[in-house]
């Protein structure tokens, strides 16, 4: 067992402080995160993961706050992970998502954790996946992951969540443009938040039109296709008012409908496989990069060969092939 | 721990006090010093604050109190921490704290007092030098 056995034991008993401390460790130290995940992995997989994404200021935190109120009433244990951006200059971050959720701070069945993305692109942080697992092992039934305010390509949430909700607000001009490529394809339920603002209905019809185009274009029966999810499931659209709570019952129905859909079609198991594959690939990428960098910075042979590239007696591509040969990766397959 | 270690600070406003300019300035200053700062907003009860500390696991907690209720709020907050066996978090207070109240608050375990006019640099250094883990 690892040096974290005691904390892990306490985590599995559902102790909040142990969970929080393990999250801190996983966030700060990638090797420790590995040890922790290795020990708790068999205790994960019970939580249903909801991803919430949307432009900055679209109301994600307030929306989640209202959603929590509904879910806690159903007796569920909820985990919330809020990711905010780190400063590219200083590495610091201001995490302000709790401000909108303060009415819930005292609810026992709720664990809110703020994270900085620490420069990671894609809308999440490196450790988000690990923190989801810790919350899962801690015993959360539902884990809500709020991404940083996104633009076009912050779609990593798609790899972590079962159901992805994207928030769109009326009156932001032509923001359909900004979601049509990335977010459009990964969203299961579109939320027209701030539905009391003028233009909400128009936004709905714009979305419907956009979705129709998308689906005609990429229709496929192959459920092994990574994008099968969007081809088989017609994204739902719900208008909400996060302050008054209007339409949240309807929203919960849609979330359940999507959950049932994933189970009924068996997509959920395919989906798990795709997700696990992409997770392993990401870890491999990281580990191989580390190894390559180490070799690259220490090998004298490589250092000498680089001189050859400088002299133009060889080129960067041939050089890279040589290094792959040196590492013996090709031979072993 | 590895060099990815970031100092995490909770900035919070206990009680019925709406003066949050100071808290925001400090939060921003600590952010610019490379720390991860959680700001909770206004009107936090001692129990809210304890809950947040348990969940977020910060290295330091900075309370901002300008309402004059520090002698009522601070003991309750420190009591909550004790109740949950939280002894590795640095707690300091900013706002208006009269000189004659400081000894009492120090006895409770509060370690720093930073009123109006304090330079951000001072607070940053205080946090860096006094965090307990």
The pLDDT, as a whole number, for residue A181 is 60
Mean pLDDT of A227-237: 66
- CB-based contact (8 Å) between B106 and chain A? no
Residue A204 pLDDT > 90: no
Residue B110 pLDDT > 60: yes
The pLDDT, as a whole number, for residue B107 is 96
- Check whether residue A110 and residue A185 sit in a common domain: yes
Instruction: Quote the pTM value.
Output: 0.86
- Check whether residue A201 and residue A291 sit in a common domain: no
Residue A210, domain CATH: 3.40.50.300
Mean pLDDT of B1-6: 62
Enclosing domain of residue B61: 8-121
By three-state DSSP, how is residue B98 classified?
A: coil
A211 vs A129, more confident: A129
pLDDT digits (tens, 9 = 90+) for B22-58: 999 999 999 999 999 999 999 999 999 999 999 999 9
Residue A117 pLDDT > 60: yes
Residue A217 pLDDT > 50: no
Mean pLDDT of A16-37: 92
- Check whether residue A176 and residue A303 sit in a common domain: no
Q: State how many domains chain A has.
A: 2
Q: What is the mean pLDDT of chain A?
A: 83
- Check whether residue A179 and residue A303 sit in a common domain: no
Opening angle at CA A76, ends A74 and A82, nearest 5 = 120
Residue A96 lies in a domain: yes
Enclosing domain of residue A262: 44-266
- Check whether residue A217 and residue A311 sit in a common domain: no
Residue B128 pLDDT > 90: yes
- Check whether residue A138 and residue A200 sit in a common domain: yes
The two tokens of residue A126 are: 């490196």
Cβ–Cβ < 8 Å for B3, A64? no
Residue A149 pLDDT > 80: no
Mutate to test the interface with A, among B40, B85, B120, B128 (most CBs of A within 10 A): B40
Cβ–Cβ < 8 Å for A67, A144? yes
Backbone phi, psi, residue A246, to 5°: -60, 135
Residue B30, domain CATH: 3.40.50.280
Select from A224, A242, A266 the last residue of a domain. A266
Mutate to test the interface with B, among A16, A22, A85, A94 (most CBs of B within 10 A): A94
The pLDDT, as a whole number, for residue B70 is 94
**Among A105-119, A178-192, A232-246, A296-310, which stretch is predicted with the lowest mean pLDDT?**
A178-192
The pLDDT, as a whole number, for residue A229 is 44
Q: State how many domains chain B has.
A: 1
Residue B26 lies in a domain: yes
- Check whether residue A321 and residue A218 sit in a common domain: no
A227-259 in b/e burial notation, b at 16+ Cβ within 10 A? ebbbbbbebbbbbbbbeeeebbeebeebbeebb
pLDDT digits (tens, 9 = 90+) for A264-313: 877 777 777 877 888 888 888 888 888 888 888 888 888 888 888 899 98
Residue B102 lies in a domain: yes
Residue A152 pLDDT > 60: no
Residue A271 lies in a domain: no
Residue A232 pLDDT > 70: no
Chain A residue numbers touching B89 (CB-CB < 8 A): none
Residue A331 pLDDT > 60: no
> Which residue of A lies nearest to B52 if distances are taken between CA atoms?
A105
- Check whether residue A101 and residue A209 sit in a common domain: yes
**Number of inter-chain CB pairs under 8 A, A vs B:** 96
Give the C-alpha separation, B54 to A125, whole Å.
21
Cβ–Cβ < 8 Å for A228, A181? no
Neighbours of B88 (CB within 10 A): 11
The pLDDT, as a whole number, for residue A319 is 86
The pLDDT, as a whole number, for residue B2 is 43
Residue A230 pLDDT > 60: no
Kindly write down the DSSP assignment for every residue of A33-102, as one continuous string.
HHHHHHHHGGG-S-SEEEEEEESTTS-HHHHHHHHHHHHHHTT--EEEEEEEPBPTTT--EEE-GGGGGG
Is A20 close to B54, i.e. CB distance below 8 A?
A: yes
Residue A168 pLDDT > 70: yes
- CB-based contact (8 Å) between A24 and chain B? yes
Residue A142 lies in a domain: yes
Residue B3 lies in a domain: no
Residue B2 lies in a domain: no
What lies within 8 Å, CB to CB, of B99 at 6+ separation is none
Give the whole-number percent of chain A exceeding pLDDT 90: 36
Residue B126 lies in a domain: no
Going by pLDDT thresholds of 50, 70 and 90, the confidence category of residue B1 is very low
Chain B residue numbers touching A111 (CB-CB < 8 A): 55
Mean pLDDT of A115-125: 76
Give the C-alpha separation, B7 to B128, whole Å.
8
Kindly write down the DSSP assignment for every residue of A102-166, as one continuous string.
GGGTT-TTEEEEEEE-TT-SSSS-TTHHHHHHHHHHHT-SEEEEEPPP--SS--THHHH-SEEEE
A328 vs B131, more confident: B131
**Among A4-18, A112-126, A184-198, A246-260, which stretch is predicted with the lowest mean pLDDT?**
A112-126
N residues, chain A: 333
Q: Is the ipTM of this complex over 0.85?
A: yes
Give the C-alpha separation, A139 to A19, whole Å.
10
């Amino acid at each position: 067992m690892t040096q974290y056995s005691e904390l892990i034991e306490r985590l599995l008993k559902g102790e909040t402080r142990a969970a929080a401390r393990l999250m801190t460790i996983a966030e700060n130290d990638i090797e420790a995160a590995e040890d922790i995940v290795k020990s708790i992995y068999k205790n994960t997989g019970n939580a249903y993961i909801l991803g919430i994404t949307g432009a900055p200021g679209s109301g994600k935190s307030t929306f989640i706050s209202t959603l929590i109120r509904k879910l806690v009433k159903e007796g569920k244990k909820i985990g919330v992970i809020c990711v905010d951006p780190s400063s590219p200059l200083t590495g610091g971050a201001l995490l302000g998502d709790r401000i909108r959720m303060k009415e819930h701070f005292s609810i026992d069945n709720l664990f809110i954790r703020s994270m900085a993305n620490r420069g990671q692109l894609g809308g999440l942080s490196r450790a988000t996946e690990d923190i989801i697992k810790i919350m899962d092992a801690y015993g959360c039934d539902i884990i809500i992951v709020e991404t940083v305010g996104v633009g076009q390509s912050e779609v990593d949430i798609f790899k972590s969540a079962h159901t992805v909700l994207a928030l769109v607000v009326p009156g932001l001009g032509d923001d359909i443009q900004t979601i049509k490529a990335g977010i459009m394809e990964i969203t299961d339920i579109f939320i027209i938040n701030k539905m009391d603002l003028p233009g909400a209905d128009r936004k709905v019809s714009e979305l419907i039109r956009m979705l129709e185009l998308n689906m005609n274009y990429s229709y496929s029966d192959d459920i092994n296709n990574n994008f099968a999810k969007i081809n088989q499931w017609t994204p739902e659209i719900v208008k909400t008012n996060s302050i008054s709570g209007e339409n949240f019952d309807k929203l919960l129905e849609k979330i359940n409908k999507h959950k049932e859909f994933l189970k009924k079609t068996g997509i959920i198991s395919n989906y798990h496989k795709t997700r696990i594959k992409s997770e392993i690939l990401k870890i491999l990428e990281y580990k191989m990069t580390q190894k390559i960098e180490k070799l690259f910075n220490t090998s004298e042979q490589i250092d000498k060969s680089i001189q050859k590239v400088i002299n133009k007696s060889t080129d960067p591509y041939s050089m890279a092939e040589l290094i792959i040969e040196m590492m013996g990766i090709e031979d072993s397959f | 721990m590895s060099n990815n270690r970031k100092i995490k600070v909770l900035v919070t406003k206990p009680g019925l006090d709406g003066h949050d300019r100071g808290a925001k300035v400090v939060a921003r200053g600590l952010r610019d010093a490379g720390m991860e700062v959680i700001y909770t907003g206004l009107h936090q009860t001692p129990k809210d604050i304890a809950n947040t500390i348990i969940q977020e696991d910060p290295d330091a907690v900075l309370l901002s109190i300008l309402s004059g209720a520090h002698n009522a709020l601070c003991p309750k907050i420190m009591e909550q921490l004790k109740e949950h066996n939280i002894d590795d978090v640095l707690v300091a207070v900013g706002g208006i704290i009269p000189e004659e109240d400081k000894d009492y608050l120090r006895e409770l375990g509060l370690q720093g007092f930073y009123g109006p006019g304090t330079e951000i640099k001072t607070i940053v250094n205080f946090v860096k030098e006094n965090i307990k883990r």
